[in-house]
Amino acid sequence: MSKRKGVYGSKVKKTTQMLFYKRHQKPGVKGWELRKALGSDYPKVLDLLDDYLKPLDLQVKTIFEEEKTPEKPTLEELDKARFYVALRGDLPTKDKLIGWRIDDLAGLAITISFIISKKGQAARKDVEKLLSEKMPNWKVGLNIDRYIRYGYLAQDDNGQLFLDWRTRAEVDQKALINMLLSTDAQKAETAEPEEEEPQEQENEQ
């Protein structure tokens, strides 16, 4: 039993090194890399590592190639997925804004929501038009390039924007949409109703 424990302890250590050491442009490693280094039981090793990371408020995140997360992923689907370490809880608001202006974050939220509403892709020119209503024109292109560079968006050769790995990893898309819908509903409730023009009464004959 202790030998088995020692084997998994060694695998957890190796997995930690692979996940924390950035070897690619994107953080983390693919499932097939873990399988090659650890064996076909690497999903169990990831579960063990996830338990070890809980006291540190960290977790092992899994990002699948498809936007829709499989309910019970197969080993083949896990081999194609990407794994990396992320925060388990939420950062305080002041920490979330490090390096970001609040209007840049708002622009990112608007962009993600717009792409979701367009079933996962939208023309860059349409996104630029939308953002130009919310921020200065000179910032629009810079911000979109920044969202792409940081892994929140991807752009193809036809100028179509898609949600990239970091959005799928860090953004609760359902919660974002619900929050925006809730905000719109509150605005509608607090909006002052337009005054109705008094109707002229007909004079009695």
pLDDT in tens, 81-112: 888 887 776 555 454 545 678 888 888 888 99
Tell me whether residue 150 is in a domain: yes
Q: Are residues 82 and 154 in the same domain?
A: no
Mean pLDDT of 28-52: 92
* Domain presence at residue 194: no
Contact between 107 and 131 (Cβ < 8 Å): yes
In terms of domains, do 83 and 112 share one? no
| Residue count of the chain | 205
77 and 111 within one domain:
no
| Amino acid present at 178 | N
Asked whether residue 204 is domain-assigned, the answer is: no
Tell whether 205 is covered by a domain.
Answer: no
> Residue 61: inside a domain, yes or no?
yes
Mark whether 24 and 58 lie in a shared domain: yes
At 104, give phi and psi (nearest 5°). -70, -40
Q: Is residue 192 part of a domain?
A: no
Q: Of 29, 58, 89, which one is at a domain's C-terminal end?
A: 89
Domain boundaries, position 120: 95-182
pLDDT band at 205 (very low <50, low <70, confident <90, very high): very low
Residue 124 and residue 130 in contact, taking contact as beta carbons nearer than 8 Å: no
Dihedral angle over CA of 119, 139, 27, 32, nearest 10: 30
Q: Which residues, at least 6 apart from 153, have a Cβ–Cβ distance to it below 8 Å? A: 111, 115, 144, 147, 161, 162, 163, 164, 167
Residues 108 and 156 occupy one common structural domain: yes
DSSP H helical ranges for the chain: 2-20, 31-38, 42-53, 75-80, 93-96, 102-117, 124-131, 137-149, 165-170, 173-190
Q: Based on the structure, what is the number of domains in the chain?
A: 2
Q: Identify whether residues 101 and 177 lie together within a single domain.
A: yes
Last residue of a domain, one of 73, 89, 105: 89
The domain that holds 121 is classified in CATH as 1.10.10.10
More confident position, 33 or 28: 33
What pLDDT is stored for residue 160 in this prediction? Answer: 95
pLDDT tens track for 180-192: 666 655 555 655 5
Q: How far is CA 142 from CA 41, 104, 121, 139, in A?
A: 44, 10, 19, 5
Q: Which of 66, 89, 112 is the last residue of a domain?
A: 89
